Amino acid sequence: MATPAVAPLDFGKALRFFFEDPKWVAKIILGGLFAMLSIFVVGSFFVTGYVVGVTRRAARGEKQPLPEWDDLGGIFVDGARALAVYLSHVFPLVVLLTLLGLAVGGAASSSQDAPPAFRMMAILTLIGGYMFFSLMGLALLVYLPAAFTRFVIQDRVAAAFEIRENLLFIRRNLANYGLALLSFWAAALLSQLGILLFCVGIFPASFWSSTVLGYVLGEVARQDPGSAPPTPQREGPGAASYTDFLP
């Protein structure tokens, strides 16, 4: 059976879809407010949860991918689950990097009377370690969106940790996945330029660029020849419960 043709991701649509929503002004004002509250952590749950909603709706091919801000409880839970996925991937790398710095720094400080060759070895080890972790960080930056997408589409936290399946998702959609990441990075750059050139608030601009990531990942999932249809969105304030945090 022939594999269905996959249309290239529409780069222009990714940058303008937000402003095609009739209620985009109200949605970006609330999103900017929650982005501002991210300074106090709590807003991060709502912004991330909203991005989950955008991804889910885009994957279903809905004409208006932006959710309403009418289910704050469900948005919060979605955000908490997504942030748990993110931190679970990033935290081990941060810990290892910190331990490396402490170990090499301690060795260097205790070797004042050591031969120059030993001190040079400590410096080279530190540089090599940081280069290694920089490459790991870059790989994680490319890998994490796939883990996030499969978590959203399947509505399972465990899906984010299925490394083989996540890598296969990237491989099946390599061109569109690359375009999706480029679209997000372009949106992030444009949001910074908008702040500098047009005096657009930093928080609404940051929120907009986050929704671009959700949209493009949803579009990649929608065209993925190997994915099942996305799990239907839970409706109503009472739809979320503590069991949603479980794999």
d(CA 111, CA 106): 9
Domain spans of the chain? 11-241
Q: What's the pLDDT at 110?
A: 59
Residue 35 or residue 116, greater confidence: 35
User: Quick one: DSSP state of residue 180?
Assistant: H
pLDDT for res 27: 96
Reported as a single tens digit per residue, the pLDDT across 20-42 is 999 999 999 999 999 999 989 99
pLDDT at 236: 44
Which range of 80-84, 203-207, 238-242 scores highest in mean pLDDT? It is 80-84
Please tell me the distance from the alpha carbon of residue 124 to that of residue 166, in angstroms, as a whole number.
34
The pTM score is 0.82
pLDDT band with cut points at 50, 70 and 90 for residue 105: low
Mean pLDDT throughout 223-245? 54
pLDDT band at 193 (very low <50, low <70, confident <90, very high): confident
Give the angle 12-14-16 at the CA atoms, nearest 5°. Answer: 70
- Mean per-residue pLDDT for 151-179? 95
In this predicted model, which residue has the larger pLDDT, 69 or 119?
69
Higher pLDDT, 108 or 79: 79
- Which pLDDT tens digit goes with each residue over 40-96? 999 999 999 999 999 999 999 999 999 999 999 999 999 999 999 999 999 988 887
Neighbours of 198 (CB within 10 A): 8
Q: Which residue has the higher pLDDT, 231 or 164?
A: 164
Q: Are 18 and 66 spatial neighbours (Cβ–Cβ below 8 Å)?
A: yes
Contact 147, 157 (CB under 8 A): no
pLDDT at 186 over 80: yes
Mean pLDDT of the chain, nearest integer:
84
- More confident site: 232 or 71: 71
Whether the predicted pLDDT of 181 surpasses 90:
yes
